[in-house]
Amino acid sequence: MFTRSFLLLPLATLLLATSALAAGPNLGMPLTQADLAAWDIFVFPDGKGLPKGSGTAAEGSAIYAQKCMHCHGEGAKGGISAALVGAPPIKSIDAPKTIANFWPYSTTLFDFIRRAMPWQQPRSLTDNEVYALTAYLLAQNKLIGEKDVMNAQALPKVKMPNRDNFSPRFPELMPRSGEKDL
Ligand code: HEC
């Protein structure tokens, strides 16, 4: 009796260990598509990845006053944090690095605000709020009309003034036309 259980115990342990190994170390949890979607918020320059929803400058103005003005100043002209509205765009390295001068793609504005602002509470804005704030900042920079509605179709069509004036430091590393995005 003793001998039999003495032999069976190591055998059972071995079997258990083998099946545990086959199932993996049992750490973490499986990811669902919904889990992934919450992190997959990249918006490409051409607008790929923009979510549903929309907003106007008037809506954005009210949200701006409540959630952004204490850092970026009245009319987004600068405060303790950077100015988001600047002088008319100038083609010079000395141009102030405002959105209108220095951002090649309007879609990046949506991406940046959604992932990073307000500074102390990132990812707290709804997609409609982000569209509205994007519309507000584009309108303040006189890049769209006051009444223009920004959404996944309209935003990529807003061409930033210096879009074609950037000189890449390493042109050989830029994707050539027809080539897929890096
Ligand atoms: C607590 C202060 C604070 C608040 C509130 C805040 N921001 Fe900012 N914002 C910053 C700081 C600091 C930076 C610079 C961040 C960096 O360079 O990484 C910044 C950068 C930005 C930029 C990029 C500017 C550039 O030219 O690079 C945008 C656009 C912007 N904020 C929009 C917003 C919007 C829209 C809101 C309101 C929803 C907001 N911010 C609220 C502090 C703030």
- How do residues 30-74 score in pLDDT, each as one tens digit? 889 998 888 899 999 999 999 999 999 999 999 999 999 999 999
Instruction: Tell which atom from ligand 1 comes closest to the C-alpha of 109.
Output: 29
Q: How far is CA 13 from CA 4, 24, 25, 136, in A?
A: 14, 16, 16, 66
Is the CB of residue 44 below 6 angstroms from any atom belonging to ligand 1?
no
* pLDDT tens digits for range 87-105: 666 667 777 788 988 899 9
- Which helix (H) or strand (E) segment is 150 a member of? strand 149-151
Is the CB of residue 118 below 6 angstroms from any atom belonging to ligand 1?
yes
Instruction: Tell which atom from ligand 1 comes closest to the C-alpha of 70.
Output: 5
Residue 1 has pLDDT above 50, yes or no: no
Q: Which residues contact 88 (CB under 8 A, 6 or more apart)?
A: 100, 142
Q: How far is residue 160's CA from residue 166's CA, in Å, rounded to a whole number?
A: 11
Q: How far is residue 56's CA from residue 60's CA, in Å, rounded to a whole number?
A: 6
Is the CB of residue 81 below 6 angstroms from any atom belonging to ligand 1?
yes
Q: How far is residue 120's CA from residue 73's CA, in Å, rounded to a whole number?
A: 16
Nearest CA to ligand 1 atom 42: 119
Q: How far is residue 49's CA from residue 111's CA, in Å, rounded to a whole number?
A: 9
Q: Where are the domains of the chain?
A: 42-86+97-164
Asked whether the whole model's pTM tops 0.85, one would answer no
Nearest CA to ligand 1 atom 17: 82
Residue 83 has pLDDT above 50, yes or no: yes
Average pLDDT over every residue of 130-144: 97
Kindly report the CATH number that applies to the domain delimited by 42-86+97-164. Answer: 1.10.760.10
Start-to-end C-alpha separation, the chain:
68
